[in-house]
Amino acid sequence: MKIAMIGCGYVGLVTGACFASFGFSVASVDTDESKIASLKAGGVPIYEPGLGELLERGTKLGLVSFTTDLAEAVRAADVIFVAVGTPSRRGDGHADLAYVFAAAEEIGRTMAAEPEGGYKVVVVKSTVPVGTGDEVERILARHVPAERYSVASNPEFLREGAAIEDFKRPDRVVVGVNDERAKEVMARVYRPLSLNQAPVFYTDRRTAELTKYAANAFLATKITFINEIADLCEATGANVQDVARGIGLDRRIGPKFLNAGPGYGGSCFPKDTQALIKTAQDFGAPIRIVETVASVNDQRKRAMAKKVVKALGGEIRGATIAVLGLTFKPNTDDMRDAPSLAIVQALKDMGAEVRAYDPEGMENARRMMEGVDFVTDPYDCAKDADAAVIVTEWDVLRALDLNLLKSSLKNPVLIDLRNVYEPGEMAARGYRYVPIGRPSVE
């Protein structure tokens, strides 16, 4: 079985490397020449734990190759995965499908140039609105007869930071197919995973496409729900972590995604909720709960900056704020739509100087944040600062030397947007400590 993986981003690289570890031959394609050159030279363009080792092994065994030549990879492939980006379209929030359609066009043209070529399954792995598979089918149909291809949907559910584990031991794999022939091929592709007891769930293509958005919208809703409960806890003196535990022990609710914080971010939830909202409106079936979730979450990020202002007595003009953690979650260098972007901007808008530290995200952050002083150590970041703010719960920020941090800071003020520390201990150490959804301590 030969696989072409179109797109060498977070999803394409990880899934390609994992398929190769099952013994499939994977040709990974990207239009970004510098990315391909770096991969060919043994580099890994993103930070994802374990990915470097997996790619190295696959390359040594001759199972993983990299190219900018889509046609070459497609000609050799039985299965072609499309894992290109589907960002928010500027202006209206719809998913921008330009990269998906461009890839489909090129696949069609390549197949047309090889009239004797065999049957291939084109699998859309990118997150795409319901009905996109139909459009991909129409694009291919302009170039090749229908018996030469099938189009399947196989949305990806991996989490950055734990992507390889998620791929190899997924809660489920969702495959959307509209014909038996494609189903048989997809069953062969996922046979190694079904041996791991991973449930591979087959449905029709449109349902698979919508399942991905429904999953992300549900998770975004769960996060936003606990965030609003956290606000109510702050107003009433209750403790959101205990509320979360109290409801999470109910198996109908479950304990995950109940950590109150600065609002969801990242490359998926913000854009996928927006795209679902637009799709639902277009089909005349608006999903008002998700509309509210997106708007509450947007407002929350700037509200976090106001928490800092309040902790400093109502004014931060001229103050230096140390921001600890920038990526939208730990164990990734992905800065797309990270809450830190809005928080830092709001702090600067209110006249503060911002100094920032992140273990892996600073290179990307530098390109996205202006007028921020980046430093490579959390204690240097806190040096003479008026307050520190934990935005991302990286391991190194979960076990800070609290005495050293306190002596580095000008004022012992810590705003903890991830509830990493214990209020009682922080009080004993002499901090003014402001967590989320739990009583602050002076």
- Give the binding site for ligand NAD (CB under 6 A): 6-12, 29-32, 35, 70, 83-86, 99, 102-103, 126-127, 156, 158, 160, 267-268
Burial 81-98 (b: 16+ CB within 10 A, else e): bbbbbbebbeeebbbbbe
Residue nearer to ligand NAD on the CB measure, 160 or 358: 160
What is the phi-psi region of residue 186: left when phi exceeds 0, alpha when psi lies from -120 to 50, beta otherwise? alpha
Minimum CB distance to ligand NAD, residue 186 (Å): 17
Q: Which is nearer to ligand NAD, 83 or 151 (CB)?
A: 83
Of 129 and 435, nearer to ligand NAD (C-beta) is 129
Nearer to ligand NAD, 280 or 436 (CB): 280
Whether 102 has a binding-site annotation, put simply, is no
Closest approach of Cβ 249 to ligand NAD, in Å?
Answer: 29
Residue 245 assigned ligand-binding role: no
User: Would the annotation count 248 as a binding residue?
Assistant: no
SS3 string, 361-396, reads: CHHHHHHHCCCEEECCCHHHHHCCCCEEEECCCCHH
Length in residues, the chain: 442
Token couple for 54: 């997996």
Residue with smallest beta-carbon separation from ligand NAD: 9
196 is in an annotated binding site: no
**Residue 230 contacts by C-beta under 8 Å, 6 or more apart in sequence?**
240, 260, 436, 437
Helices 205-236 + 240-248 axis angle, to 10: 140
**22 labeled binding residue:** no
How many Cβ atoms from other residues are within 10 Å of residue 191's Cβ? 12
CB of 128 to ligand NAD, least distance (A): 7
Kindly tell me which of 7 and 412 has the beta carbon lying closer to ligand NAD.
7
**259 labeled binding residue:** yes
Q: Which residues are catalytic?
A: 268
> Is 212 labelled as part of a ligand binding site?
yes
Spatial separation of the C-alpha atoms in residues 152 and 126, rounded to whole Å: 11
Judged by beta carbon, residue 161 or residue 325, the one nearer ligand NAD is 161
Pull the structure tokens for residue 299.
């407002």
Write the CA distances from 252 to 43, 199, 240, 249, integer angstroms.
44, 20, 19, 9
Q: How far is the CB of 68 from ligand NAD (least distance, A)?
A: 8
The least distance separating ligand NAD from the CB of residue 177, rounded to whole angstroms, comes to 19
The partner residues of 389 in beta bridges, in order of sequence, read 323, 415
Residue 10 or 431: the one with the smaller Cβ distance to ligand NAD is 10
For residues 273 and 252, what is the distance between their CA atoms, to the nearest angstrom? 23
Q: Helix H segments across 263-377?
A: 269-282, 288-311, 339-349, 362-368
Residue 64's contacts (CB-CB under 8 Å, 6 or more residues apart) are 16, 17, 20, 26, 28, 55, 58
CB of 105 to ligand NAD, least distance (A): 9
- Residue 122 tokens read as 């084109």
329/406 with CB nearer ligand NAD: 329
Proportion of the chain in helix, strand, coil states, percent, rounded to 5: 45, 15, 40
Q: Measuring CA to CA, which residue among 356, 353, 320 is closest to residue 338?
A: 356
CB atoms within 10 A of CB 111: 24
Whether 301 has a binding-site annotation, put simply, is: no
CA–centroid distance for 213 within its chain: 13
> Could you tell me the smallest distance in angstroms from the CB atom of residue 44 to ligand NAD?
13
The answer to the question of whether 329 is labelled as a binding residue is: yes
Q: Binding site annotation covers 367?
A: no
Q: How far is CA 383 from the centre of its chain?
A: 32
CA nearest neighbour of 362 among 381, 382, 376, 343: 376
Contacts 24+ apart (CB under 8 A), 420-428: 420/390, 420/393, 426/402
For residue 108, the SS3 value is helix
Min dist. Cβ of residue 268 to ligand NAD (A): 5
Instruction: Detail the residues annotated as belonging to a binding site for NAD(+).
Output: 30, 35, 86, 127, 160, 271, 336
Instruction: Detail the residues annotated as belonging to a binding site.
Output: 30, 35, 86, 127, 157-160, 212, 257-261, 265, 271, 329, 336
Instruction: Detail the residues annotated as belonging to a binding site for substrate.
Output: 157-160, 212, 257-261, 265, 329
